[in-house]
Copies of this chain bind each other. A is one copy, B any other.
Amino acid sequence: MTEIGIGILGGGYMGKAHSVAMAAVGAVFNTALRPRLEMICASSVESAERYRAAYGFARATDNWRELVEDPKVGAIVVATPQSTHREIAEAAFALGKPVMCEKPMGADLADADAMVQAAEASGVANMVGYNYIRTPASQYARKLIAEGAIGDVTAFRGEHTEDFLADPNAPATWRTLGMANGTMGDLAPHMINGALALIGPIESLIAEVETIHKTRPGGAVTNDDHAQMMCRFENGVMGQMFFSRVAMGRKMGYAYEVTGTKGAIKFDQEDQNTIWLYKMDDPEAERGFRKVLTGPAHPDYEPFCQGPGHGTGYQDQIIIEARDFLHAIHSSQPVWPTFRDGLDVARIVHTALLSAKKRCWLNVSSKG
């Protein structure tokens, strides 16, 4: 068993999730490479120290370069605001240190592109944090589709809907400023990444964005609340997506329905332990969507529990992600989604925002 020192940048929502994941992943997955919580970085010395003590890191800092350059830090997890991702990643790659970066990759397409250059120049492990596609259910959906269990896919409908800003009186924050932090920039990438994983590359699209609450206590809102698109995948599949942070009633609406020529699959992250499978070859009177509860027969479930239907949760997705990142480092094999895969998502977001402006169908250029 080999150990690696982990440095995590950011100690809030995702920083904590990654810290817990690194604490648990070895025991859950019996990983060949074992993470050691070496250093955490936050915006002040005080908060960094608070996170260090809470999560069990050896050391704390408010200086991201110190963390990246520390000789005991062997791999980096970036969970800071997205405008900082590029600089940090570039620094880490320059030192030959593997990076797992939270989604979306950077502040814009140029960032994402530069980050891919840096990652690929370094040759070390690099991964983007799309956790939702890692549930046993969605991994299984991906496998079913790839194996042709529902025939040829003919239509994809997806959404990523939450309502954390649905209350008009929720104050203006960094989240309500800048397209990169809006619904299309920040929330849609999860489902776009999911669509790419389930169906394949997107060829063309037409999108719309809208700001429902144009001012909030504390100031004007400069990015979008709702966003939607229609698209065509390269394999001809018709696609439709909706994204929102003001979708009243939806808490974790990462949901999709995949229609095929022999069956169909439905999933809703709000019931993440269920995958709905319809097969045309069941006898007509017995035909219906099967409510399949995930269990040891599904990908990455058994390490969490030997009993089917006992369920995995949000934190478990991050643990799976940590396992993948450690595996990428240890095996020197890229693990999906790499920075290049993340760039594909960034390119679609970029095209969608452009399409929303021009109000027309646009091809998703394969060269950014």
Interface residues of A (CB under 8 A from B): 1, 13, 16-17, 19-20, 23-24, 26-28, 30, 34, 53-56, 140, 150, 154-155, 157, 162, 164, 166-168, 206, 208, 210, 212, 225-226, 228-230, 238, 240, 242, 244, 246-253, 259-264, 266, 269-274, 276-280, 282, 284-293, 295, 297-298, 304-316, 359-361
Give A138 Cβ to nearest chain B Cβ, in Å.
13
Cross-chain contact A261 with B168 (CB below 8 angstroms): yes
Contact of A288 among B269, B291, B316, B360 (CB under 8 A): B291
Give A287 Cβ to nearest chain B Cβ, in Å.
7
Which residues of B lie under 8 Å from residue A162 when comparing CB positions?
A: 307, 309
Give bound CA distance, A55 to B228, whole Å.
Answer: 45
Cross-chain contact A287 with B278 (CB below 8 angstroms): no
Which residues of B lie under 8 Å from residue A164 when comparing CB positions?
A: 307
Cross-chain contact A248 with B316 (CB below 8 angstroms): no
Which residues of B lie under 8 Å from residue A291 when comparing CB positions?
A: 276, 288-291
Contact of A273 among B157, B259, B270 (CB under 8 A): B270
Give A153 Cβ to nearest chain B Cβ, in Å.
10
- 6 further A-B pairs in the complex, CB-CB below 8 A; given A249-B288, A269-B310, A271-B273: A19-B27, A26-B55, A166-B261, A246-B259, A249-B278, A291-B291
Cross-chain contact A314 with B305 (CB below 8 angstroms): yes
Which residues of B lie under 8 Å from residue A155 when comparing CB positions?
A: 226, 242, 244, 247
Give A308 Cβ to nearest chain B Cβ, in Å.
4
Cross-chain contact A280 with B310 (CB below 8 angstroms): no
Number of copies: 4
Which residues of B lie under 8 Å from residue A23 when comparing CB positions?
A: 23-24, 26-27
Query: With A288-B290, A288-B292 in contact, do A20 and B16 touch (Cβ < 8 Å)?
Result: no
Cross-chain contact B228 with A228 (CB below 8 angstroms): no
Cross-chain contact B247 with A305 (CB below 8 angstroms): no
Cross-chain contact B298 with A292 (CB below 8 angstroms): no
Cross-chain contact A309 with B28 (CB below 8 angstroms): no
Give A144 Cβ to nearest chain B Cβ, in Å.
8
Which residues of B lie under 8 Å from residue A304 when comparing CB positions?
A: 313-315
Q: Taking CB as reference atom, which chain B residue is nearest A318?
A: B305
Query: With A206-B230, A313-B304 in contact, do A212 and B20 touch (Cβ < 8 Å)?
Result: no
Give bound CA distance, A51 to B212, whole Å.
Answer: 53
Contact of A310 among B210, B229, B252, B310 (CB under 8 A): B252
Contact of A212 among B26, B56, B154, B244 (CB under 8 A): B154
Cross-chain contact B261 with A249 (CB below 8 angstroms): no
Contact of A312 among B248, B286, B315 (CB under 8 A): B315
Q: Taking CB as reference atom, which chain B residue is nearest A162?
A: B307
Cross-chain contact B270 with A248 (CB below 8 angstroms): no
Give bound CA distance, A306 to B313, whole Å.
Answer: 13
Cross-chain contact B251 with A226 (CB below 8 angstroms): no
Sample 13 A-B pairs with CB under 8 A, ordered by A number. A34-B56, A155-B244, A157-B242, A246-B259, A247-B259, A248-B262, A249-B264, A252-B307, A270-B309, A274-B288, A277-B288, A304-B314, A359-B361
| Chain B CB within 10 Å, residue with most, of A55, A249, A282, A309 | A249
Q: Taking CB as reference atom, which chain B residue is nearest A252?
A: B309
| Chain B CB within 10 Å, residue with most, of A208, A263, A279 | A208
Give A241 Cβ to nearest chain B Cβ, in Å.
9
Give bound CA distance, A154 to B245, whole Å.
Answer: 12
Which residues of B lie under 8 Å from residue A280 when comparing CB positions?
A: 166-167, 248
Which residues of B lie under 8 Å from residue A293 when comparing CB positions?
A: 251-252, 270, 288
